[in-house]
Structure 1
């Protein structure tokens, strides 16, 4: 039986923050704005679509390092720091005050959220060693949608590529031709994979990378 997939947060730029335990629940909310102007002596006014509001993904993460005795803050601190301004991000201009924290995407197997900002974070340390080292924590995140994308749909975990029918996680030693043979039954069809994922060297793939796999009808 295959090992269970581990959830992780992907920061803008490619850094990954692994979740020690997979969440028990994901809560997605979306809302639209509808405008109505009441007029005296008129019946119920007709609604007019006023636009969509950003989607919101709520996720509660659990962290426990009692087995190792190391501070759980080594893991939770990386998430907290993702709310800090990063002046190295593309388009940043510190002189003009145009800086922001990195975007965040939640991944869990074939589940990929929209690119988001961390709108709210609540961290609670719930268990400590006798010396005061935090060993257990819960971290509640509210991720707010940054740009138009589907959440939990057949979307691409990489930006700017076609919508795939599936996603493949690169294993150690895999090459694009082997992946093409697996999904298309033809190792020579590795070029569409390279194009969909902006891969420059099909023989050197980074293990753990998520690749978009276009449907065979799109080749």
Structure 2
């Protein structure tokens, strides 16, 4: 429920553009919200063994796109106050999340529910389990279990993760008190790289920084 007491419905919006811009081409509304949503994330590591040692250390490589899993049911009995055609709703879910011939791939999706952050994602997998039937075999209830993969662009993911890997190019806005050696220490672990960063940004001197200035920190060898 929202603060006003109104039921917040799970919405899955389909877009043809990767950035999910403009109006959605289709929308699926879950009239019975999921009882549970699982957010998964994963880090990728390299196991490196130091010279003269028998153990290994784990070197961080990157954050992988996260997954979101949920299950909800479609109720055609009218018990929740909103009677729907179960097969029509299943077909709509498959249309919204499935293959789009205009873009020759499945739709780009935005998933929203209540106060959860909007997820830009794509469908990884889904299963439909029919649970209740009329005497003539028409389904009255279906449980949809779906898994979505984060589909944010690399720039957005890096910004969200605030990735500090020295193997990536970083853009930083200079704040009052920042120095180039200190920023190089944060990003590369080596303040002595300040002259190289200054040259990469066409700075006359590593000491001349101004608040609000944008600096590029490219991958550099230590």
TM over 0.5: yes
Decide whether the 8 Å contact of 2:112 with 2:119 is kept in 1: no
Query: d(CA) in 1 for partners of 2:105 and 2:97?
Result: 9
Instruction: Give TM-score scaled by structure 1 length.
Output: 0.58
* 1:54 aligned to which of 45, 59, 65: 65
Deviation at 1:69, TM superposition (A): 7.1
After the TM superposition, which residues 1-219 of structure 1 pair with which residues of structure 2 at under 5 Å, given as runs?
1-12=4-15, 13-14=23-24, 15-38=26-49, 41-67=52-78, 71-89=85-103, 99-148=104-153
Mapped to 1, the partners of 2:84 and 2:113 lie a distance apart of: 25
Per-residue deviation at 1:41? 4.2
Runs (5+) with no aligned partner, structure 1: 90-98, 154-219
- Which has the higher mean CA deviation after the structures are superposed, 68-77 or 116-125? 68-77
| C-alpha distance after superposition, 1:74-100 (max 9, x if no partner) | 1111112334321323xxxxxxxxx21
Q: Quote how far apart the aligned CAs of 1:11 are.
A: 1.1
Paired position in structure 2 for 1:205:
none
User: SS of 1:147's equivalent?
Assistant: coil
Which runs of 5 or more structure 2 residues have no equivalent in the other structure? 16-22, 161-222
1:32-65 residue CA offsets vs partner (Å, 9 max, x unmatched): 1010133674143332222221100001011101
- For 1:195, the equivalent position in structure 2 comes to none
Q: Greater CA radius of gyration, 1 or 2?
A: 2
Query: Which structure's residues are more often strand, by fraction?
Result: 2
What is the TM-score normalised by the length of structure 2? 0.57
Aligned residues: 142
Cα RMSD (Å): 2.4
